[in-house]
Amino acid sequence: MQPDAAAPSKRRWRERVEWLVDHFRAEWQIYVMLAPMIIWFIVFLYKPMYGLQIAFRDYSVFRGIAASPWVGLEHFETLFSNSQFLRAVKNTVYISALSLIFGFPVPILLALMFNEILNEFYKRTAQTIVYLPHFISTVIIAGIVITAFSPSAGIVNTVLGWFGIDSIYFLIKPEWFRPIFIGSGIWQEAGFSSIVFLAAIAGVNPSLYESAVVDGASRWQMMWRITIPSIMPTIIIMLIIRIGNLMEVGFELIILLYQPATYQTADVINTFIYRQGLQSGQYDLAAAAGFFNAVVAFILVMIANTLSKRYSRTSLW
């Protein structure tokens, strides 16, 4: 009885293997094109996951990962008793939340405004101007910010001087770091991010606008009643992705702008990892902080996706 019962299962497996072989032979060009990206994902995203266990070991570069003794959650206990790490978590959440509140709507507004511009030359010129900062190196962006807010020759303090206001050392005052950083990020990325929403607007059915014109709707009413609802699925998807990156603050610009005087409001998880891992050589503690960061980001994505699926029927999966 056993051989007879196992025969159908073996036959199904054989059929599946044959189907896969035939499918690969028919579509091998597609798989060849996909191969570099698959290899990149394996080498740079999946293979490094082996190193996550450093967060649970007393890691030594001389002994290697496998030979380093297992310490369990000891590094996490150290992190959560570290005032600098707790400060970094608070700053990360605070900066990310402000960036989401003030930065996320800006590309949408830009896309809506570009869509309303009728003069093609002016429209393309304006788009080029707002797209350019995205292609400028972060180092140059930091240099522009430092120069603009310089207390001696910066344009900001120069304008303040016209009104009789004394020069302000913006970049060494903790209370000014967050507005400067968030504003710089919006200026650099808002224009380029609007491309996604412009593409979504381009996909709206033109007959909807034609019907609205016949009904006597104004451009404002068409934007509010047709354009925004039509691109809402795209907005929700981009919001979910943005929430997933909530713990990933652009630390390159922070490293270039912050200094010990502004650690109070500028130090985030990624800069904490940078100092602990690369500067202090505490790779296990830095790995624990990075693991914590990744777990929180995963939980945020799951929550945002679940809520979106429940209330808007739009989700990533």
**Mean pLDDT to the nearest integer, 29-44:** 91
**Mean pLDDT to the nearest integer, 263-272:** 90
271: amino acid identity, one letter = T
The pLDDT assigned to 42 comes to 92
Q: Please report which confidence band the pLDDT of residue 276 belongs to, taking 50, 70 and 90 as the band edges.
A: confident
- Orientation angle between helical segments 174-202 and 138-148, nearest 10 degrees: 130
Sign of CA dihedral 214, 215, 217, 223: negative
**Mean pLDDT to the nearest integer, 108-117:** 92
Q: Please report which confidence band the pLDDT of residue 4 belongs to, taking 50, 70 and 90 as the band edges.
A: low
Angle at 184 between CA 137 and CA 243, to 5 degrees: 95
**Mean pLDDT to the nearest integer, 245-266:** 86
Which whole-number Å values give the CA distances from 29 to 41, 42, 44, 51, 243, in the listed order? 19, 20, 24, 34, 36
Instruction: Please state, in angstroms and rounded to a whole number, the distance separating the CA atoms of residues 149 and 172.
Output: 11
Q: Please report which confidence band the pLDDT of residue 3 belongs to, taking 50, 70 and 90 as the band edges.
A: low
**Mean pLDDT to the nearest integer, 207-220:** 88
Instruction: Please state, in angstroms and rounded to a whole number, the distance separating the CA atoms of residues 282 and 75.
Output: 10
Q: Is the pLDDT of residue 203 over 80?
A: yes
The pLDDT assigned to 191 comes to 92
The pLDDT assigned to 1 comes to 44
Mean residue pLDDT across the chain:
88
Instruction: Please state, in angstroms and rounded to a whole number, the distance separating the CA atoms of residues 30 and 230.
Output: 33
Span 148-188, pLDDT tens digits: 998 888 899 999 889 888 888 898 999 999 999 999 999 99
The gap from C-alpha 273 to its chain's centroid, in whole angstroms, comes to 18
Task: Find where tokens 């054989």 sit.
Answer: 14
The β-bridge partners of 57 are 70
Q: Is the pLDDT of residue 196 over 90?
A: yes
Q: Which residue, among 221, 194, 192, has the nearest Cα to 208 in the 3D structure?
A: 221
Instruction: Give the DSSP H or E segment for 10.
Output: helix 2-26
SS3 state of residue 300:
helix
Q: Is the pLDDT of residue 278 over 50?
A: yes
Whether the CB-CB separation of 192 and 127 falls below 8 Å is answered with no
Instruction: Please state, in angstroms and rounded to a whole number, the distance separating the CA atoms of residues 201 and 234.
Output: 10
> Using the 8-state DSSP alphabet, how is residue 153 labeled?
T
The pLDDT assigned to 5 comes to 54
pLDDT-wise least confident of 89-93, 216-220, 312-316? 312-316
Which whole-number Å values give the CA distances from 272 to 155, 184, 277, 300, 308, in the listed order? 32, 21, 8, 21, 32
Whether the CB-CB separation of 112 and 227 falls below 8 Å is answered with yes
Span 56-90, pLDDT tens digits: 999 888 888 888 899 989 999 999 999 999 999 99
Please give the backbone phi and psi of residue 316, each rounded to the nearest 5 degrees, phi first: -75, -35
Give the CB-side neighbour count of residue 66, counting CA atoms within 13 A.
Answer: 0
Please give the backbone phi and psi of residue 117, each rounded to the nearest 5 degrees, phi first: -80, 125
Torsion of CA 234, 238, 239, 245, to 10 degrees: 170
**Mean pLDDT to the nearest integer, 101-121:** 92
| Percent of the residues in the chain that have a pLDDT greater than 70, as a whole number | 97
